[in-house]
Every structure is written in structure tokens, then in C-alpha cells.
Amino acid sequence: MEILIRRVSPNTIRLTASRILLAHVAHYTRLAEVGKLEQPKTAGKYDTGQLILHKVFGYRGVILFPWLARVYDRDATNKKESTDSKGATDTSGDSLSNVGKEVKGRTHTFYQVLIDTRDAPYIRAQTEAVTFLGNQESSRSLYAIPGLDYVAHDDILPYTSVERVPLQHELFDKFLMHNPDKAQETLRAWQKKNHPWLELSDVHRETTEGVRVTVIPFYMGSRESQNSAVYWWRYCIRLENLSAQAVQLRERHWRIFSLSGTLETVRGRGVVGQEPVLARHSPAFQYSSHVSLQAPSGHMWGTFRMEREDGYTFDCRIPPFSLESKPDDASPTAPAQGT
């Protein structure tokens, strides 16, 4: 049976049981075989250098290294609470009390992945999602490494390439292409040096009316500002429509609590200047943003106002997540391609 993954561009990837065909559709259709599918792993980890297709976004990529993350899935917790309360559910997604609810984290494997630059323009995910602070204490600039992503083990389709150059990305050439043994030493050194701002530790998930929100927060470090420290985090958010009806994100509503005692409310249209539609042919959208606090820790939570194609609107809960700082024992260093 064929599986078809459509992109938001005219490009599609068609997967069969034995081969991968990349289609460029304009005024005509051209299919080019790029590789052969392998059996996905149900146990164990994928190795550095494994070529992959992203099961949701459809891009080609290569695994750099794995991360072990604690996944806090509030769907399981909410289902248990609903059963325990005999049908009474808590819909107060904008309540600070929700932050303190105990949700058991389970360990899952995620991977740092390079995205093929040929596919980057056509996926519904920011390709400059990995950002870090500049080396200079006085600098307020944020820098980005293009084409890095974090991918869950279950979202990976492994394959072997039939192309002479299996993946196009500057870091692929430096880390994996020409001299694999020496290149992987460079990769390990780069990972170790930049570990503080690359590390993935916690993942939060919650589903509301068929729309699943996944949040991954990252601590980025602190900067001195007017004789006080300002702490920075980035957070990556993925929205995925699991239902048959198309929905559109219309508004965001954030609540940001700081250990200093402040509680800030942020409202606005869409996210990152967009109001994405999540439909059957393109069910997911992923973006990154940043937040700063004048305290070493805090919490964030909120809702996305969603509108279905029939006009029905509802608030999709953003699962509460902690903003925790770490000792600034290492300064982030620029990536290999010098962005």
C-alpha cells in the first residue's frame, strides 16, 4: 500500500514499500528515485549518519546524535482525572493551578537532525529554529543555525540513498561527508562545546478537540541589563491536527509567570505573523519563539484560538511548561558555518 506525504508546496514525496520518489509538480510531473526505505526501528537508537524522512513534514534529513527527553503527556493525565471524577473535567486551561498538576514524565528518544536544504523551502516548520545568544555579554543579538531540527523516534522513516551526494547541507559536508571518522570527531567536539544551548530535556504535549500541541523549551543563558540579570529561553511549538476537519489558528493567548512574582498576559493574532491552516493534506505546523524573565525560573501556559472550516471556534490548550535556568558554565560558540 502506498503512503503519500504532501507538502505545502507543489513538491510531494511518495513512499512505496521499497523506494522513495521525489515529485516536482509544476506544469508537468517528474519523479526521481532518491533512495530505498528501511525498516523503522521499534527498539534501540538510530546511528549518527542515518538518512531519514520526517514522517509528518516529509523532508529529507540526517541524524547527528540522539537526546533522551522526558515527555510529559497531559492527555494521559487528563483521561485518568476524567475517569476518577466520573465525567467532570477541568477546562480551566488558563489557570495557574494547572501548572502545578503532577504529570509523570516518560523517557523518549529524540534526535538532532540536519534538514536537506533542497527541502527546507517547502516544509511547514521554521528551518532556523535553533538559536543562541551571542558571545558578548553586552550583545542582545540572537544567532541561528539554519536547517537543524529535533525529531522524535516515532517520526523517523529511515532510508538509504541512491544519490551520489545524499544530502545537501553545509554541516553535513563538515561532519559526515568527506572523512567520516575525522568528521565525526569534529561533530562530537561541536556537540560537547555547544551542549548547553542544544540540549533537549523536557517535552510537553496536550490535545484539545483533535489538535495536539507539543512544546519543547530550551534555556539559552543570561545577560546583564541595567545591573540585573535577564534570563532567556526559546521554545519550539508544534501543532498537529489529528481530526478530519480543517482548522485554522486565529489567536494566541499566553500567560507568563516569573519567580520574581510577576504574571504577564500576551495576546495577539496568529503566531510568527501567520494564521496557519491545519488540514488533512498539511496537518502540522511548527515554529519557535523566545521569552525573557528577570528571574532564573518561571512558567508559561495558555491557549490557541482555533476555527474549524464550519465556523466553530474553540480554545486549544498549550500545556504548562517550566522555564528553568542552568549555571552559565559555558558560552555558546558560533556554529561551524559561521552564521
Condensed to tens digits (0 to 9), the pLDDT of residues 83-105 reads: 555 544 444 444 444 554 568 88
Predicted confidence at residue 185, as pLDDT, reads 84
Q: What is the pLDDT of residue 132?
A: 79
Q: Can you tell me which residue has the cell 544551548?
A: 197
pLDDT > 70: percent of the chain = 77
Residue range 54-81: average pLDDT? 87
The mean pLDDT of the chain is: 82
Q: Which residue has the cell 511547514?
A: 124
The reported pLDDT for the residue numbered 197 is 80
pTM: 0.83
φ, ψ dihedrals at 175, nearest 5°: -95, -30
Burial of 17 (C-beta count, 10 Å sphere; 0-12/13-18/19+) = exposed
317 pLDDT more than 60: yes
Of 54-68, 139-153, 309-323, the least confident = 139-153
Q: Is the pLDDT of residue 169 over 70?
A: yes
| Cell numbers given for 79 | 483521561
Burial class (CB in 10 A: 0-12, 13-18, 19+), 210: middle
Is there a contact between 105 and 72 (Cβ–Cβ < 8 Å)?
yes
Type and span of the H or E element at 198: helix 195-198
Helix or strand holding residue 148 (H, E): strand 148-152
CB 135 within 8 A of CB 143: no
pLDDT at 186: 87
C-alpha closest to that of 194 among 259, 145, 140: 145
Q: Lowest-pLDDT range, 37-51, 97-111, 134-148, 290-304?
A: 134-148
Q: Let me know: does 99 contact 320? Beta carbons within 8 Å.
A: yes
Q: Which pLDDT band holds residue 8 (cuts at 50, 70, 90)?
A: very low
10 band by pLDDT with thresholds 50, 70 and 90: very low
300 neighbors 235 (Cβ within 8 angstroms): yes
Most confident of 54-58, 139-143, 196-200: 54-58
6 burial (CB, 10 Å; 0-12 / 13-18 / 19+) is middle
pLDDT higher for 196 or 35? 35
CA distance 107 to 196: 20
28, pLDDT greater than 70: no
Question: Grid coordinates 476524567 are at which residue?
Answer: 82
Least confident interval from 25-29, 126-130, 288-292, 310-314: 25-29
**Rounded to an integer, what is the distance from CA 287 to the centroid of its chain?**
7
* pLDDT tops 50 at residue 122: yes
Buried b / exposed e over 71-84, threshold 16 CB at 10 Å, is bbbbeebbeeeeee
Confidence of residue 263 (pLDDT cuts 50, 70, 90): very high
- Domains by residue range for the chain, with CATH: 3-324 (2.60.40.1470)
User: What is the per-residue pLDDT for 90?
Assistant: 45
H or E segment and range at residue 6? strand 3-6
Of 319, 276, 318, nearest in space to 123 by CA = 276
- Quick one: 115 exposed, middle or buried, by C-beta within 10 A (0-12, 13-18, 19+)? buried
When pLDDT is averaged across residues 213-240 and rounded to a whole number, the result is 91
pLDDT at 105: 87
In this prediction, what percent of the chain has a pLDDT beyond 90?
54
Adjacent-strand bridge partners of 14: 4, 21
Q: Does the pLDDT at position 30 exceed 80? A: no
What pLDDT is attached to residue 211?
97
CB burial readout 301-320, b (16+ within 10 A) else e: bbbbbbbbeeeeebbbbbbb
pLDDT at 81: 57
Residues 6+ apart with CB under 8 A from 113: 52, 54, 61, 62, 63, 64, 148, 149, 150, 151
Mean pLDDT of 45-73: 94
Which contiguous run of DSSP H or E holds residue 173? none
Q: Which residues contact 210 (CB under 8 A, 6 or more apart)?
A: 241, 242, 243, 245, 247
What pLDDT does residue 139 have?
53
By mean pLDDT, which of 44-48, 66-70, 193-197 is the weakest?
Answer: 193-197
| pLDDT of residue 288 exceeding 60 | yes
Predicted confidence (pLDDT) at residue 336 exceeds the cutoff of 90 = no
pLDDT confidence band for 223 (50 / 70 / 90): confident
